[in-house]
Amino acid sequence: MSRIAETFARLRTEGRPGLITYTTAGDPDLPRSAEILKALARAGADVLEVGVPFSDPLADGPVIQRATERALAAGGSMRATLDMVAEVRREVSTPIVIFSYANPIVRMGLDAFVDRAADAGVDGVLALDLPIEEADEFRAAMDRRGLDNIILLSPTTTDARIRKAAELGRGFLYGISRLGVTGARATVATGAEDMVRRIRAFTTLPLALGFGISQPEHVAEVGRYADAAVVGSALVALIAEASSGPDLIARVDAYVRSLRAACVPQQA
């Protein structure tokens, strides 16, 4: 059983939703990015999602686009990301998911990427823009090294594609709660619960919900119907704001602990 599967099994036993955090590798720089990941694990994040900086992040809003620019300027890349994960893995047992566009993976070579990711201690990979119709080879390569294939689903994903995602996915499925690019919002998308219900008609895989979740109240709301909440842009914005001061790690810790406190056991 993978670390991701073990984590969601534990969450089911505890009766509570999980918290997944997203950060961009190399933002604000590689050494502090590694320290942030360690802080997220200490603060109680259940899964660490690590974004590979890429020059053309089509699905990302301005907050993560700026983080990508900072990371690239600081020397961020796929190789640097995997080296950083290997360093963090020596101290952290929390599952780590690489979040990447397909281009950096293809550029490295699929088999080379899978081998380096597995050797670094990566547990799963989400290739954001990989068409599900072309994902069979990717899944086979991931299976070879025991990596979980995380697949993205949106409110407009058809039933047929949800069914295919359920066949190809492992670990958990990542549902985006609204259309458009990433970014913190004031409220959770109104159709999020219906989307979760529709996906669950086709699969028993855990479902994490992201895009727009930024506050403890959002985490608590999503936790009523999804297996985990994903917080990205709001955390990345906090890192950008705090990176010039001495209390970056302390502020990240406090914010994530507030989110984690909202992951309370759900009534049966």
When pLDDT is averaged across residues 116-127 and rounded to a whole number, the result is 98
Is 60 an active-site residue? yes
Model-level pTM? Answer: 0.93
pLDDT given at position 46? 98
Three state DSSP letters for the chain: CCHHHHHHHHHHHHCCCEEEEEEECCCCCHHHHHHHHHHHHHHCCCEEEEECCCCCCCCCCHHHHHHHHHHHHCCCCHHHHHHHHHHHHCCCCCCEEEEECHHHHHHHCHHHHHHHHHHHCCCEEEECCCCHHHCHHHHHHHHHCCCEEEEEECCCCCHHHHHHHHHHCCCCEEEECCCCCCCCCCCCCCCHHHHHHHHHCCCCCCEEEECCCCCHHHHHHHCCCCCEEEECHHHHHHHHHHCCCCCHHHHHHHHHHHHHCCCCCCCC
The reply to whether 268 falls in a domain is no
Q: Could you tell me if residue 219 is inside a domain?
A: yes
Domain that holds residue 181: 3-260
**Which pLDDT score is estimated for 155?**
86
Residue 187 lies in a domain: yes
The answer to whether residue 267 is domain-embedded is no
**Residue range 205-255, pLDDT digits in tens:** 999 998 889 999 999 999 999 999 999 999 999 999 999 999 999 999 999
- Structural domain contains residue 266: no
Q: Which of 60, 123, 221, 227 is catalytic?
A: 60
Q: Give the tens place of pLDDT for each residue, 56-72.
A: 877 677 899 999 999 99
pLDDT over 90 (residue 118): yes
Domain count across the chain? 1
15-74 tens-digit pLDDT: 999 999 999 999 999 999 999 999 999 999 999 999 999 988 776 778 999 999 999 999
Question: Would 104 be classed as within a structural domain?
Answer: yes
As a whole number, mean pLDDT of residues 157-163 equals 92
Q: Assess whether 193 carries a catalytic annotation.
A: no
- What's the pLDDT at 181? 40
Q: Is 98 within the bounds of a domain?
A: yes
Domain annotation covers residue 233: yes
Catalytic residue (one of 6, 14, 35, 49): 49
- Assign residue 60 the CATH number of its domain: 3.20.20.70
